[in-house]
Structure 1
Amino acid sequence: MKKKYVSRLLAGCLTVTMLTPTGALASVPQPVVTQEASQEAGQENETENKEQTEEYAAEGAAEVQTDETEAAENRTAADKSREQTEPQTAQTGEQAEPQTTQTGEQAASEAEPQAQVQPRAVVDVNQWIRNGNRWWYRHADGSYTTNGWEVINGAWYYFDGAGWMVTGWLKRPSGWYYLTGSGAMATGWIQLGSTWYYLNESGTMLADTWIGNNYVDGSGAWIPGKVKAQAGWIQSGNRWWYRHADGSYTTNGWEVINGAWYYFDGAGWMVTGWVKLSGTWYYLTGSGAMATGWIQTGGTWYYMNTSGAMVTDTWIGNNYVDGSGAWIPGKVKAQAGWIQSGSRWWYRHADGSYTRNNWEMINGSWYYFDGAGWMVTGWLKLGNNWYYLNPGNGAMVTGWLQLGSTWYYMNGSGAMETDTWIGNSYVDANGVWDQSKTKAQAYWVLNGDRWMLVQEDGTYAKKCWKTVGGKEYYLDENGYMVTGWLKQGSTWYYLKPTAKNSAEKVGEKAYNYWVGTAGIGGYYIDKYGRMVAGKDYSLGSYVYTFDVNGLCTNRENRYLQVTDANGRKYNVEKKTYLSDPQVGVDVTEDEFLAAAVYAESANQGLTGMTGVAMVMLNRMRTNKTSSAPYPSEAKNMIYQATQFEVARDGALTKSLNLIVSGKGGTAMENAKKAVANARAICDAYDNNKTDELSDEVKGILEELKVPEGHTMLEYLGFMTPKAFENANLDPEKTYAFTYKNTTFYSTWIKKS
């Protein structure tokens, strides 16, 4: 059986215009959704039709659908009838409303329609066609939907096995649906006779559940006398308990109600006053709410921590609570501080203790206290190390120390250095600086017309890099300074053969430096001292192209300058990424899409993820006159057109890492499958081979629904993109252009 899935719009490929009675065929009546039409045409038989439909459903699919053999025998006659049928209202100029006295199952079992009017020329457009009191919908290519749903002008319709529009109750595997007198699927509350039913946004009738505070029973009928129980406090005498909406209540436990914690005893009564639980005391106020912070009861103050537990035998700031938890107002917390006794000092801790035979840091300085706790000053020997404590304040000294005419050097830990060089200064075995001893320095000597470096030990530096005066040099195997180009492995370096100014030195290694011409025809040394080769390289406002030999062959602007409607100018970088720049790994285009789908909709299942993938592909394939075209690659769509906000909140980074590590699990596999499904759907519509889609993919297409308030094209074209919403841009007026396969918005129009 041939079906035309309206979801072809998902692929962004729709080229057929659906005409309505207000279009080219204005005389063809279009079903109109009105409660009046629904009640007049179908109210009388609603209950009977629904019960009869249930019987048909129980008897099997043979009673619901037209037998395939019979359908095949009648197909030629039916098609001919459809092609020749002229709407009866065309002869009178009046528009007749469709009849709605048949259920979906009855319509499916009726005979094929017979032509009643004169034949006319076939118009190659979508159109409603009426035959007697029944309707069908003819596609532009002459086909029509059978045994399935189709969205027409924003409303959903169901067509039976012969292609007739169904009205009334319809039983499907997913539940009951109601098609109004116009054939449009109903949603929300509907009244049939004196009975109300509720159909969710997918059109499925709800049963045995609450809709807000309204209850519908197992048949779906609203029970007006049934009131939903409300949770709330109930008083019995002078005691309180809390009743949950289902009638239950908490016993022997805590419960948070309206932001406050309450405790209920074994019978469910709210507790007040003191309660001891697992060795910890809590206090419940007169309202039953658990107390925290300071509380006063019976003239005594207590402190309850943030979990409500009473604290004992501790300081709360400068206030002390004893073992019973009571505040002791006469007890003052001791303060830590220095105490002088005669000419000596010691440091008293807040608890009265003090340090002995050890170091202690106080206010950022180190101090040493002897066995009696007195602060030590002057020289101090501990183990094999000498330390010096400032005689004036006892603080340990670091760095150079002058005592009289003698200098010592105390390292970062305070220990005196001995028999070593401190920079170019030597301290002897006693730690004293020996000013007569000078450390040998490396120096340059000229040998003929070439320079050589004599090292500190008097030998020549050979075949190595050396740093002298903050500059890097290279000495060859004979000890001569190298100038010009130097290749080590596959990397080229440049050592300046001349000094262009007083800051430069002959032979120094170049960084961020043009060799020869600055720009096209020159060579560039990057910030690491390496020659750039075989790639594009950004410098300032330009991008330079270097061939494999390092020669610069092209220069162009790094940015495109765009102007918004207010005249403000922006620089848009041309650089593009295949992978997320935060990740630094390469992935395929479909892997990139799968990561984006995962980040957007990992919790929506395969159907929802396929829908998101189709939106992304459609966004990349869209090139409508009335809307700005999007880039044709996912990387550009997300990074240049800033579509799908996952690229900016870190979720895409995580998804790409999962792709690379293979740790995405079932959800990531679904994301990959969703991208494959979406591509298959797009390709099928491009090549008019939707019948060749797998049953699974067809099922996914049937399950995809457009949210209420959106048209298919508008929804799939933009899907309320945050990029436009956040910028308050008008997607219809924003102008875009493509430069080197990257799309930029050159004129940004704000919504009026």
Structure 2
Amino acid sequence: MKKRMIGAAVIGVSALMTLGTAFTSLADWTMDNGEWVYTLNNGEFFKDGWKEDGGHSYYLGSDGYMVRSRLLEINENYYYVNSSGAMVKNEWRELENTSQQSSSVPNDVNWYYFGSDGRAYRSKNGKAAVEEIGGKKYVFDEYGRMLTGWISESGEALTDESAWQDALYYGDGDNNGGALIVNNWLYTSVQDYDNEDDIEPSYWFYFSAAGKKKTSDQETINGKKYYFNEHGAAQTGWVQEDGDEHWHYYGDEEDCSLRTGWFEAVPDEDMDSEGYSDGTSYWFYAASDGDLAVSQIKTISGDVYAFNEYGELMTGLKKMRVENKEILAYDDIESEDDLPGDDEDDWGVYYMDENNGRVKTGNATIDLDGNTYTYAFKSSGSDKGRGIDGVDGNYIYDNGRRLRAESGTKYEIVVHDGTEYLVNTSGLLAKKKKNVTDSDGVYYCTDSEGRVTYTGYDRYTED
């Protein structure tokens, strides 16, 4: 039988009789040189084994003397006998880290737990011993020492810079008496030389009900979705998940859950390098799975919005080519030269409010290239929000812009789709007019639609 005594018992001889040891058969137990021994029928001392008495187990050493206050290694198991010599069961004990044991646990003293059979809980066969004690889980190494901090799958304490990457468990020695973190988060600083922004970042980690660190890609925890890398660090910011062309946004260190609905963020460098370089913050909208609304006109809570190819909310005056709500192409309109040309019939003009991004419907006053114009946008239909093109009521529009006579001219001819119309300086169509004059004295006549039927320097008279 393999046996070893670990650590020294420190106890005075004068205290032996006050240890509280109570034997049911004192005829077999006697004192020898101030120590308890068990005498066999042949008069020899019982040695190297356990003796049961009064519901307790006592260990007699190779000299036959009772062992007290010692950690014993017997047949690759660890036991502890208290100051009375009785085997400890179902108890925690804090013991010195002895030279006979590995120094992989850098503590002067360590906690052990001895089960109902007196054996210390310990890892075996290269697998961590996860034991539940008092409703909490703990890991013990192969020597029975409770481990704290980062712990490997095999039940070893990890203390180097890559410990957080290689570990499976975490024993919270600071706040939870060494118990494993289960069904909860850990926020801690680590060494990460792969992090280009900060080699000493702080990361969030989540541990399951079994105390195991989450390392799978996306996990739903308490109704929220999170994304973990191969080392278990919860990702923040923009993530393009494996095999998925879509970008998802996982917030920041305050809340690294998947963002859905509306959120504001700076785009990733690989997503929109210009926006990233400028540090521009945009509004995005994501569905319940985190997928962004991209390259589309989308109705959200009754309002209409437009998103570019990066998912950024678009604002301002744009010309766009739209098909079935999908934005195929777009460009900014900063001057009249940017308006759709005669060869761009499939392009339309849209205005997204600068403050809230809503696609404008109805009338809007817009400043363009130093001038103020009235625009009108469709309020219904499949192309809701597109600038009205042509006659609408008492006005005529060119890609949403109301056509009007220049200030001071009174009237002016405008051409749309090859037809001449007469409008005043507010853009009102001059309908059923006869011999009205502009500021240059030119006479005009129009029909009921405002189309020009006569123009000249002489008054029109019927033959």
TM-score (norm 2): 0.26
> Whose relative contact order is higher, 1 or 2, with alpha carbons under 8 Å and at least 6 apart?
1
| Structure with the larger helix share | 1
| Structure with the larger strand share | 2
